[in-house]
Amino acid sequence: MATGNKTKKTERSLSDFERRLSANENNNDFSTLPDIYMILRLDAHRVGDWVVDNSQDNEYPFCSSFQNALVDAAHRLIMGPVVGCFAYIHGDEISLLFTANESSNPRKRSKLISTLSSYASLFVKNYSESSNIVFHSKLSELPSKEAVVEYFIWQRLVAVRNSVNSILIKGCGDDKSAAKEVVQTLNSLTVFERTKYLEDMGVDYWSLDPFIHTGTYLVRDPGSLEGQIKRLLGFEGPATLDTDSFATQLLPVLEDSLAFSAPAISDRNILASPVVIREDLGTVSLSKFENPGAKKVKSDSKPANAESRGRKNKPSPGGRFRVSGNQSSKKTNS
Protein backbone atom coordinates (compact mmCIF):
# COMPACT_ATOMS: atom_id res chain seq x y z
CA MET A 1 0.00 0.00 0.00
CA ALA A 2 1.37 3.27 -1.07
CA THR A 3 1.88 5.73 1.64
CA GLY A 4 1.77 9.46 1.03
CA ASN A 5 5.02 11.24 1.75
CA LYS A 6 4.63 14.56 3.49
CA THR A 7 6.83 17.27 2.09
CA LYS A 8 8.90 18.88 4.78
CA LYS A 9 8.26 22.60 5.03
CA THR A 10 11.43 24.61 4.51
CA GLU A 11 12.00 27.49 6.90
CA ARG A 12 12.95 30.69 5.09
CA SER A 13 15.84 32.49 6.70
CA LEU A 14 16.35 36.19 7.27
CA SER A 15 18.93 36.25 4.49
CA ASP A 16 16.32 34.85 2.08
CA PHE A 17 13.95 37.68 2.91
CA GLU A 18 16.69 40.30 2.66
CA ARG A 19 17.91 38.97 -0.68
CA ARG A 20 14.40 39.04 -2.11
CA LEU A 21 12.87 42.15 -0.56
CA SER A 22 15.68 44.62 0.14
CA ALA A 23 16.17 44.90 -3.61
CA ASN A 24 12.80 46.65 -3.75
CA GLU A 25 14.05 49.28 -1.30
CA ASN A 26 17.35 49.86 -3.02
CA ASN A 27 16.38 49.50 -6.66
CA ASN A 28 15.81 53.25 -7.16
CA ASP A 29 18.01 54.48 -4.33
CA PHE A 30 20.88 55.76 -6.42
CA SER A 31 24.23 57.00 -5.17
CA THR A 32 25.48 60.43 -6.11
CA LEU A 33 28.24 60.55 -8.67
CA PRO A 34 31.82 61.05 -7.47
CA ASP A 35 33.50 64.40 -8.17
CA ILE A 36 30.18 66.18 -8.54
CA TYR A 37 28.96 69.41 -6.96
CA MET A 38 25.91 68.94 -4.77
CA ILE A 39 23.32 71.44 -3.57
CA LEU A 40 20.40 70.54 -1.33
CA ARG A 41 17.40 72.87 -1.55
CA LEU A 42 15.19 72.69 1.55
CA ASP A 43 11.71 74.17 1.24
CA ALA A 44 9.95 74.87 4.56
CA HIS A 45 6.27 74.09 5.09
CA ARG A 46 4.34 75.31 8.11
CA VAL A 47 2.27 72.94 10.22
CA GLY A 48 -0.07 75.46 11.80
CA ASP A 49 0.92 79.10 12.24
CA TRP A 50 4.27 80.73 12.87
CA VAL A 51 3.80 82.94 15.92
CA VAL A 52 4.94 86.55 15.41
CA ASP A 53 5.38 88.30 18.77
CA ASN A 54 6.20 91.74 17.41
CA SER A 55 3.16 93.42 15.86
CA GLN A 56 5.47 95.73 13.88
CA ASP A 57 7.25 92.78 12.26
CA ASN A 58 6.52 91.43 8.81
CA GLU A 59 4.31 88.42 8.21
CA TYR A 60 5.56 84.88 7.60
CA PRO A 61 7.90 84.04 5.90
CA PHE A 62 9.54 87.48 6.17
CA CYS A 63 9.19 87.93 9.92
CA SER A 64 12.56 88.22 11.63
CA SER A 65 11.90 85.31 14.03
CA PHE A 66 11.35 82.84 11.18
CA GLN A 67 14.23 84.19 9.13
CA ASN A 68 16.55 83.90 12.13
CA ALA A 69 15.34 80.31 12.64
CA LEU A 70 16.30 79.52 9.03
CA VAL A 71 19.69 81.20 9.44
CA ASP A 72 20.33 79.17 12.59
CA ALA A 73 19.31 75.94 10.80
CA ALA A 74 21.49 76.73 7.78
CA HIS A 75 24.45 77.54 10.06
CA ARG A 76 24.15 74.12 11.74
CA LEU A 77 23.65 72.31 8.44
CA ILE A 78 26.88 73.83 7.08
CA MET A 79 28.80 72.56 10.11
CA GLY A 80 27.58 68.97 9.76
CA PRO A 81 26.75 66.10 9.65
CA VAL A 82 27.62 66.60 5.96
CA VAL A 83 30.13 69.39 5.56
CA GLY A 84 28.74 72.43 3.77
CA CYS A 85 30.52 75.55 2.67
CA PHE A 86 27.88 78.00 1.41
CA ALA A 87 24.18 78.59 1.97
CA TYR A 88 21.59 80.99 0.59
CA ILE A 89 18.47 81.65 2.65
CA HIS A 90 15.50 83.48 1.14
CA GLY A 91 11.78 83.40 1.88
CA ASP A 92 11.14 79.93 3.27
CA GLU A 93 14.01 78.14 1.51
CA ILE A 94 17.61 77.15 2.24
CA SER A 95 20.03 76.16 -0.53
CA LEU A 96 23.02 74.32 0.93
CA LEU A 97 26.21 73.75 -1.08
CA PHE A 98 28.45 70.91 0.10
CA THR A 99 32.23 71.15 0.03
CA ALA A 100 33.94 69.50 -2.94
CA ASN A 101 35.54 66.79 -0.80
CA GLU A 102 32.10 65.79 0.51
CA SER A 103 31.11 64.65 -2.98
CA SER A 104 34.29 62.61 -3.56
CA ASN A 105 32.68 59.45 -2.14
CA PRO A 106 29.38 58.08 -3.43
CA ARG A 107 26.48 58.80 -1.09
CA LYS A 108 22.89 57.61 -1.22
CA ARG A 109 20.55 60.35 -2.36
CA SER A 110 17.78 59.14 -0.04
CA LYS A 111 20.05 59.36 3.00
CA LEU A 112 21.23 62.86 2.18
CA ILE A 113 17.72 64.14 1.55
CA SER A 114 15.91 62.45 4.43
CA THR A 115 18.61 62.97 7.06
CA LEU A 116 19.28 66.64 6.36
CA SER A 117 15.57 67.44 6.00
CA SER A 118 15.01 65.89 9.43
CA TYR A 119 17.94 67.80 10.89
CA ALA A 120 16.62 71.09 9.50
CA SER A 121 13.16 70.47 11.02
CA LEU A 122 14.78 69.62 14.36
CA PHE A 123 16.93 72.76 14.30
CA VAL A 124 13.94 75.03 13.63
CA LYS A 125 11.93 73.27 16.35
CA ASN A 126 14.76 73.83 18.83
CA TYR A 127 14.83 77.49 17.85
CA SER A 128 11.06 77.99 18.22
CA GLU A 129 9.33 75.34 20.30
CA SER A 130 5.87 76.80 19.70
CA SER A 131 6.05 76.42 15.91
CA ASN A 132 6.32 73.40 13.65
CA ILE A 133 8.12 73.28 10.31
CA VAL A 134 8.77 70.35 7.99
CA PHE A 135 11.07 70.48 4.97
CA HIS A 136 10.63 69.15 1.46
CA SER A 137 14.04 68.81 -0.15
CA LYS A 138 15.59 68.23 -3.56
CA LEU A 139 19.19 67.37 -4.37
CA SER A 140 20.96 68.86 -7.40
CA GLU A 141 24.08 67.20 -8.81
CA LEU A 142 25.96 69.75 -10.88
CA PRO A 143 28.90 69.04 -13.20
CA SER A 144 30.87 72.30 -12.90
CA LYS A 145 31.47 75.42 -10.82
CA GLU A 146 29.78 77.43 -13.55
CA ALA A 147 26.63 75.35 -13.08
CA VAL A 148 26.81 76.02 -9.33
CA VAL A 149 27.01 79.76 -10.04
CA GLU A 150 24.00 79.51 -12.36
CA TYR A 151 22.04 77.71 -9.63
CA PHE A 152 22.53 80.56 -7.16
CA ILE A 153 21.76 83.18 -9.83
CA TRP A 154 18.49 81.34 -10.40
CA GLN A 155 17.71 81.36 -6.69
CA ARG A 156 18.57 85.06 -6.43
CA LEU A 157 16.00 85.85 -9.13
CA VAL A 158 13.48 83.49 -7.51
CA ALA A 159 13.92 85.36 -4.21
CA VAL A 160 13.02 88.70 -5.78
CA ARG A 161 10.14 87.27 -7.81
CA ASN A 162 8.59 85.51 -4.80
CA SER A 163 8.92 88.47 -2.45
CA VAL A 164 7.43 90.96 -4.93
CA ASN A 165 4.56 88.61 -5.74
CA SER A 166 3.90 87.97 -2.05
CA ILE A 167 3.79 91.67 -1.17
CA LEU A 168 1.46 92.57 -4.03
CA ILE A 169 -0.93 89.66 -3.53
CA LYS A 170 -1.15 90.26 0.23
CA GLY A 171 -1.77 93.93 -0.53
CA CYS A 172 -4.91 92.96 -2.40
CA GLY A 173 -6.41 91.55 0.80
CA ASP A 174 -9.76 89.89 0.14
CA ASP A 175 -10.14 91.51 -3.29
CA LYS A 176 -9.78 88.37 -5.42
CA SER A 177 -10.33 90.15 -8.72
CA ALA A 178 -7.51 92.60 -7.91
CA ALA A 179 -5.24 89.71 -6.93
CA LYS A 180 -6.00 87.91 -10.19
CA GLU A 181 -5.23 91.07 -12.16
CA VAL A 182 -1.93 91.50 -10.31
CA VAL A 183 -0.90 87.89 -11.00
CA GLN A 184 -1.71 88.23 -14.71
CA THR A 185 0.31 91.44 -14.92
CA LEU A 186 3.31 90.01 -13.08
CA ASN A 187 3.47 86.95 -15.31
CA SER A 188 4.40 89.15 -18.26
CA LEU A 189 7.13 91.09 -16.43
CA THR A 190 10.84 90.47 -15.89
CA VAL A 191 12.13 90.31 -12.32
CA PHE A 192 13.45 93.87 -12.48
CA GLU A 193 10.17 95.14 -13.97
CA ARG A 194 8.30 93.54 -11.09
CA THR A 195 10.24 95.61 -8.56
CA LYS A 196 9.38 98.78 -10.52
CA TYR A 197 5.74 97.72 -10.67
CA LEU A 198 5.75 97.26 -6.89
CA GLU A 199 7.23 100.73 -6.41
CA ASP A 200 4.49 102.17 -8.64
CA MET A 201 2.02 100.58 -6.21
CA GLY A 202 3.53 102.54 -3.31
CA VAL A 203 6.27 100.31 -1.85
CA ASP A 204 9.94 101.28 -2.11
CA TYR A 205 11.18 97.72 -2.58
CA TRP A 206 14.90 98.30 -2.04
CA SER A 207 14.31 100.06 1.29
CA LEU A 208 12.60 97.00 2.76
CA ASP A 209 14.40 94.79 5.25
CA PRO A 210 17.17 92.83 3.46
CA PHE A 211 15.44 89.63 4.60
CA ILE A 212 12.83 90.44 1.95
CA HIS A 213 14.73 91.69 -1.09
CA THR A 214 18.14 90.02 -0.66
CA GLY A 215 17.96 87.11 1.74
CA THR A 216 21.02 85.93 3.67
CA TYR A 217 24.26 84.38 2.40
CA LEU A 218 26.37 82.26 4.74
CA VAL A 219 29.90 81.36 3.70
CA ARG A 220 32.99 79.65 5.06
CA ASP A 221 35.36 82.57 5.61
CA PRO A 222 38.54 81.81 3.63
CA GLY A 223 40.42 84.27 5.85
CA SER A 224 39.75 82.15 8.93
CA LEU A 225 41.95 79.14 9.69
CA GLU A 226 39.00 77.48 11.42
CA GLY A 227 36.75 78.07 8.44
CA GLN A 228 34.29 80.09 10.50
CA ILE A 229 30.83 80.57 9.06
CA LYS A 230 30.03 84.22 8.45
CA ARG A 231 27.38 86.30 6.76
CA LEU A 232 28.46 87.46 3.33
CA LEU A 233 27.85 91.11 2.47
CA GLY A 234 28.02 92.72 -0.95
CA PHE A 235 25.13 91.08 -2.79
CA GLU A 236 22.58 93.76 -1.95
CA GLY A 237 20.70 96.11 -4.24
CA PRO A 238 19.22 96.04 -7.74
CA ALA A 239 22.65 95.57 -9.34
CA THR A 240 22.49 91.91 -8.28
CA LEU A 241 19.71 91.39 -10.83
CA ASP A 242 22.27 91.84 -13.61
CA THR A 243 23.15 88.17 -14.04
CA ASP A 244 26.48 88.65 -15.83
CA SER A 245 28.06 90.90 -13.20
CA PHE A 246 26.48 88.83 -10.44
CA ALA A 247 28.12 85.69 -11.85
CA THR A 248 31.49 87.49 -11.95
CA GLN A 249 31.13 88.35 -8.26
CA LEU A 250 29.88 84.96 -7.19
CA LEU A 251 32.38 82.62 -8.87
CA PRO A 252 35.49 83.45 -6.75
CA VAL A 253 33.39 83.25 -3.58
CA LEU A 254 32.22 79.75 -4.42
CA GLU A 255 35.67 78.62 -5.55
CA ASP A 256 37.17 79.58 -2.18
CA SER A 257 34.27 78.04 -0.29
CA LEU A 258 34.39 74.73 -2.15
CA ALA A 259 38.09 74.40 -1.39
CA PHE A 260 37.40 74.39 2.35
CA SER A 261 37.94 71.04 4.05
CA ALA A 262 36.82 70.07 7.53
CA PRO A 263 35.33 67.04 9.30
CA ALA A 264 31.65 67.03 10.13
CA ILE A 265 30.88 67.61 13.79
CA SER A 266 28.90 65.25 15.99
CA ASP A 267 25.13 65.39 16.44
CA ARG A 268 25.51 66.46 20.07
CA ASN A 269 27.87 69.31 19.20
CA ILE A 270 25.55 70.56 16.45
CA LEU A 271 22.66 70.84 18.90
CA ALA A 272 24.83 72.24 21.70
CA SER A 273 26.09 75.17 19.61
CA PRO A 274 24.76 78.60 20.66
CA VAL A 275 21.70 79.88 18.85
CA VAL A 276 22.65 81.93 15.80
CA ILE A 277 20.95 85.28 15.14
CA ARG A 278 21.50 86.90 11.77
CA GLU A 279 22.59 90.27 13.14
CA ASP A 280 24.97 88.63 15.63
CA LEU A 281 26.89 86.72 12.96
CA GLY A 282 30.34 87.89 11.99
CA THR A 283 30.46 89.28 8.46
CA VAL A 284 32.85 89.04 5.56
CA SER A 285 32.75 91.53 2.68
CA LEU A 286 32.49 90.50 -0.94
CA SER A 287 35.50 92.73 -1.72
CA LYS A 288 37.63 90.13 0.08
CA PHE A 289 37.02 87.74 -2.82
CA GLU A 290 37.69 90.17 -5.65
CA ASN A 291 40.68 89.51 -7.87
CA PRO A 292 42.70 92.75 -8.07
CA GLY A 293 43.94 91.80 -11.54
CA ALA A 294 40.50 91.09 -12.95
CA LYS A 295 38.70 93.68 -15.02
CA LYS A 296 35.53 95.08 -13.59
CA VAL A 297 32.43 94.00 -15.46
CA LYS A 298 30.41 96.99 -16.55
CA SER A 299 26.82 96.36 -17.43
CA ASP A 300 24.49 98.58 -19.41
CA SER A 301 21.40 96.82 -18.16
CA LYS A 302 18.81 98.60 -16.05
CA PRO A 303 19.63 96.90 -12.74
CA ALA A 304 23.30 97.92 -12.88
CA ASN A 305 22.38 101.54 -13.54
CA ALA A 306 19.74 101.67 -10.83
CA GLU A 307 20.51 103.07 -7.42
CA SER A 308 22.00 100.45 -5.13
CA ARG A 309 22.61 100.21 -1.39
CA GLY A 310 23.20 103.40 0.52
CA ARG A 311 20.26 105.09 -1.17
CA LYS A 312 18.20 107.45 0.89
CA ASN A 313 14.89 106.17 2.15
CA LYS A 314 11.99 107.80 0.38
CA PRO A 315 8.55 107.93 1.99
CA SER A 316 6.24 105.53 0.22
CA PRO A 317 3.20 107.06 -1.44
CA GLY A 318 -0.17 106.26 0.03
CA GLY A 319 -1.91 103.13 -1.14
CA ARG A 320 -3.07 99.71 -0.06
CA PHE A 321 0.22 98.00 -0.94
CA ARG A 322 2.23 98.53 2.21
CA VAL A 323 4.53 96.36 4.31
CA SER A 324 5.41 96.73 7.95
CA GLY A 325 8.99 97.57 8.78
CA ASN A 326 9.73 98.87 5.31
CA GLN A 327 12.45 101.32 6.27
CA SER A 328 15.97 99.94 5.96
CA SER A 329 17.10 101.91 9.01
CA LYS A 330 14.77 99.90 11.22
CA LYS A 331 16.08 96.60 12.55
CA THR A 332 13.52 93.88 12.87
CA ASN A 333 15.85 91.42 14.59
CA SER A 334 16.13 91.41 18.31
Give DSSP secondary structure letters for 101-116: GGGGS--BHHHHHHHH
Phi, psi of 127 (to 5 degrees): -75, -40
Element (H, E) at 217: strand 216-220
Angle at 241 between CA 156 and CA 163, to 5 degrees: 50
| 3-state secondary structure (DSSP) of residue 12 | coil
Q: Going edge to edge, which strands form the sheet with 283-285?
A: 133-142, 37-46, 93-98, 84-90, 216-220, 229-233, 283-285
* pLDDT confidence of residue 261: 77
Q: What is each CA distance from 309 to 195, 269, 312, in whole angstroms?
A: 15, 37, 9
Rounded mean pLDDT, 109-134: 90
* pLDDT confidence of residue 293: 45
Look at residue 150 and tell me whether its pLDDT is greater than 90.
yes
Binned at pLDDT 50, 70 and 90, residue 174 comes out as confident
Q: Are 300 and 195 in contact (CB under 8 A)?
A: no
Binned at pLDDT 50, 70 and 90, residue 214 comes out as very high
Q: Are 231 and 281 in contact (CB under 8 A)?
A: yes
Whole-structure pTM value: 0.80
Look at residue 106 and tell me whether its pLDDT is greater than 70.
no
Cα–Cα dist 96/99, whole Å: 10
Rounded mean pLDDT, 269-297: 77
Per residue in 54-88, pLDDT (tens digit) is: 666 788 888 889 999 999 999 999 988 788 899 99
